[in-house]
Structures are given as structure tokens and as C-alpha cells.
Amino acid sequence: MIALSANCLLFQLADGESIPFSAEMVSVELVGDDAALIDPDFIRNAASAVIYYFRHELQRQSVTVSEFTAALAKVLKGFSPALNQGGAATLHVPAIIESDLGHLLFGEGAEGELFFFPRLRAELKAQLRLEPRELRFRGLRDCVKLLAGSRRWTPRCSDLRDQVVEYLRNCLTAEERAEVCAVLVR
């Protein structure tokens, strides 16, 4: 299992899947006449505080989207009278989701290619469930060198890089929701 970052929280989806989000990954749309008066940085800080509350005060690593939204709405209503008059906060998935390939290599039971490729497919599937406009996988070069056990780029690294990209292509074509999503691997 991959260790969850201290500033992330697992969001449980309706189908039982859990997806990690940080405060920067959460975007909030405020509904109401005076909602434009609230600064986006303030909302990001409020989301960070709610994540901290669940992680450290309640000792929870996962919440449902409705629990998080309700807690965030309560915090925002405490600071803005405009939201107390019928406004609400709703959680939206960012249009671009970025994943670090290196994080898929580390964790409990992570031993080379045997575990990397299934984790990569699971990561792709989990991110596609959020229906983003674009998925970005970063750290390909470093990830491949770690997988190959090489300090320098070698012909084996080139072959492995091509395998990773081809594997992502094959996984993407097998998914239903992949048609509306661009994937960038770098």
C-alpha cells in the first residue's frame, strides 16, 4: 500500500473506490449571489484546514465526498454571511489530474515490474472514474531508471520506457471513459 501524504485525504466514491486528494486538488464552486466575494486562496486554505481537521483531529484518513463538502460548507458559512442565505458549496474534480509514477514504485510489497504495472493500471482506472479532461503522469524517466535498477539511461531503460507508455495506451483503450480524456506521460 502506498503511504498517504500528510496533506492528503482519501475521498470515498459511491462505488467504494477511494481517491487521494490534497487541498490544491480540490476545487470548490460556490453558489449564491455574493459567492464571487470569497477569495479562491481563502477557499483553498479552508479546504486545507478541513483536511487537517479530518486527518489530525478526528484521526481519519478517508471521508465521503458529502462529509467533506458539508464540513467545508460549514467552515465557509462561518466566515461569509453571503453563504448563510441559501448559498452552498459543491466539490468538483479538477480538469487536470497529475500522478507521480515514482510513487507507484514505493510502498508495501512494491518490488519492481511485477507490482508496478498493476498499480499503474489501478491508478489510471481510479483517475478516469473522476472524469478529468486530462491525466498527467510525471516522472517517467526516473521511474524507468528505478525499475531497471540503473543509475544512467541505458538501452534497457529505453525499452522499459516504451513498455510503460504502450501499457498505458492499452489500458486506456480498454476503458470506457477514456474517449473524453487526454493522457500526457512525461
Segments of 69-125 assigned E as strands: 88-92, 96-100
CA atoms within 13 A on the CB side of 81: 0
Does residue 164 surpass a pLDDT of 90? yes
Of 18-27, 70-79, 83-92, 134-143, give the lowest mean pLDDT range: 83-92
- How many C-beta atoms surround the C-beta of residue 186 within 10 A? 10
The cell numbers describing 176, all together, are 470506457
The residue extents of the domains of the chain are: 8-92, 96-185
Find all residues with CB under 8 Å of 15, minimum gap 6, and list them: 129
Residue 73 vs residue 14, higher pLDDT: 73
pLDDT for residue 140: 93
pLDDT for residue 158: 95
Q: What residue type is assigned to position 52 of the chain? A: Y
Strand 134-138 and strand 96-100: the pairing is parallel
Strand 134-138 and strand 18-22: the pairing is unpaired
Instruction: Please return the burial class of 94, using the count of CB atoms within 10 Å of its CB with bins 0-12, 13-18 and 19+.
Output: middle
Confidence of residue 156 (pLDDT cuts 50, 70, 90): very high
Of 19-28, 115-124, 170-179, give the lowest mean pLDDT range: 19-28
Does residue 121 surpass a pLDDT of 70? yes
How far apart (Å, rounded) are the C-alpha atoms in residues 152 and 176? 38
pLDDT for residue 34: 47
Strand 27-31 and strand 88-92: the pairing is antiparallel
Phi then psi for residue 115, to 5 deg, are: -100, -20
How far apart (Å, rounded) are the C-alpha atoms in residues 100 and 102? 5
Residue 127 vs residue 80, higher pLDDT: 127
Q: What is the mean pLDDT of the chain?
A: 77
Helix (H, G, I), strand (E, B) or coil at 86: coil
Q: pTM for the full model? A: 0.53
Q: What residue type is assigned to position 74 of the chain? A: K
